[in-house]
Amino acid sequence: MKTPVLSADFPGGNVRVLGIEGDTVHLAPDLRETQRFWFFWRFRATFPAAGTWRFEFPDGNCVGTRGPAVRRAGERAWRWLSGDALHESDRVFEWTSAGTETVEFCQCIPYQGADFDAFAASFAGDPRVTVAELCRSRAGRSVPLLRLREGEPAQAVLFTCRHHAQESMASFALEGLLRALASDEPWAAAFRGAFEVLAVPFVDRDGVEDGTQGKFRLPHDHNRDYGAAGGHLYPECAALERLLDERRPAAVLDLHCPYIRGGETNEHAYLVGIQAERLRPAQAAFGALLERRCPPESPYFAADTLPFGALWNQPTDFSGGSGMGFSRWAAAKPWPRLASGIEIPFANFREKTQTPDTIRAFGRGIAAALAEFLATPARG
């Protein structure tokens, strides 16, 4: 019996083939450079003939609530294998091929450097938008820094994304919020006049392109590279510290994705409660605005904010390393009015199935809520 040929030899690729028995392929994520099990994988499969193939991950839950993201060779758009239906198994999915074909599968809908390049190119000729280089990664890749401004605003806001390389749905939210802030809406124009928008789309640029998990990277990941004795391990984090100290942003938002599915917090969007007590009222106020501004297809509920000290959001959590996360570290600076992490699920907000477009709409809600928040005079 002919078997499918699997490959991960492309940007973002990640898989280990454990074995093939008949029509069943046994797989695992490639956990290179990773401390412990995590769930990201992405591969291409070339099927030799018509048939139904079963893909199993025996070592852990690696299949999300809408199944894997899939696209056939030649297609641009990704879709969820299970559509709007719940994919019951967290370890198994099946694919039925009508004949010889090549199909890409991924734990989530991926977002690579080429996707950001296409997004940035859509602003070509717009003098308000520039893409510079924040720094070079450890592998020598250029780490982009997008700037959006009108005139010479005295203040700034900073958005970061992909501190953990595989958390790709956050990238679509970043696109949505940047597109909103560049729009002709009066509130957006007023915002650009008051604040320079700074955005770092890939903090772990190497992980994004190499297809590594990013989360739990050895000896610690990018989001535990702040505030530790001995300085930074990663050039991107050192450059972010310099940028933060130079521009002293009024707001810092760090976009993430949670665990793959299940649990108390992994299937709705939420703010990560901040340790700095002085910023907790501001975070609560921003959360209330976000609830009003987000669309029904990707809703946000302020009550879902994960308080500091609850569940994993502890002074020292399970991610390892002696440093702290970026938003917690930024909140300890004296100048931000708001500093927070935002967790954006991979496939669904409760019963609402998510796509790149609905996540972009969520990003527009973030932008509108932040503009309204910063337009209100600070208290205290």
Q: What is the pTM of this model?
A: 0.97
247 and 223 both lie in a single domain: yes
| Whether the Cβ atoms of residue 186 and residue 150 lie closer than 8 Å to each other | no
Crossing angle for the helix pair 356-375 and 169-181, to the nearest 10 degrees: 50
Give residue 91's domain range.
5-106
Domain C-terminal end among 106, 139, 172:
106
Q: Can you point out the beta strands (E) in the chain?
A: 5-7, 16-21, 24-28, 42-47, 51-56, 69-72, 79-80, 92-97, 101-106, 129-136, 142-148, 155-161, 195-200, 251-256, 270-272, 338-343, 348-349, 352-353
pLDDT by 10s per residue, the chain, length 380: 688 999 999 999 999 999 999 999 999 999 999 989 999 999 999 999 999 999 999 988 999 999 999 999 999 999 999 999 999 999 999 999 989 999 999 999 999 999 999 999 999 999 999 999 999 999 999 999 999 999 999 999 999 999 999 999 999 999 999 999 999 999 999 999 999 999 999 999 999 999 999 999 999 999 999 988 788 999 999 999 999 999 999 999 999 999 999 999 999 999 999 999 999 999 999 999 999 999 999 999 999 999 999 999 988 765 556 689 999 999 999 999 999 999 999 999 999 999 999 999 999 999 999 999 999 877 65
Structural domain total, the chain:
2
Question: For residue 121, is it within any domain?
Answer: yes
- In Å, what is the CA distance from 332 to each residue of 60, 292, 322? 36, 28, 16
Question: Could you tell me if 306 and 322 lie in one domain?
Answer: yes
Domain contains 98: yes
Statement to judge: residues 88 and 174 lie in one domain: no
Same domain, residue pair 336 and 365: yes
Shared domain for 84 and 138, answered yes or no, is no
pLDDT in tens, 200-240: 999 999 999 999 999 999 999 999 999 887 889 999 999 99
Same domain, 71 and 154: no
Instruction: Give the domain-ending residue among 73, 90, 106.
Output: 106
Do 55 and 125 lie in a common domain? no
- Are residues 129 and 223 located together in one domain of the fold? yes
**Domain annotation covers residue 261:** yes
Residue 268 placed within a domain: yes
CATH number (domain holding residue 195): 3.40.630.10
Same domain assignment for residues 38 and 185: no
CATH code assigned at 85 = 2.60.40.3120
147 forms bridges with which residues in the sheet? 130, 198
What CA–CA distance (Å, rounded) separates 363 from 280? 22
Among 76, 106, 136, give the residue marking a domain's end: 106
pLDDT of residue 379: 60
Confirm if 324 and 275 have CB atoms less than 8 A apart. no
- Contacts of residue 20, Cβ cutoff 8 Å, sequence gap at least 6: 3, 26
325, 264, 213, 208: CA torsion to nearest 10: -70
**Residue 380 counted as domain residue:** no
The verdict on residue 89 lying in a domain is: yes
254, part of any domain: yes
Q: Let me know whether 188 and 324 are in one domain.
A: yes
Question: Do 61 and 117 have their domain in common?
Answer: no
DSSP state letter for 279? G
119 and 53 within one domain: no
Whether residue 252 is contained in a domain is answered as yes
What amino acid occupies position 110?
P
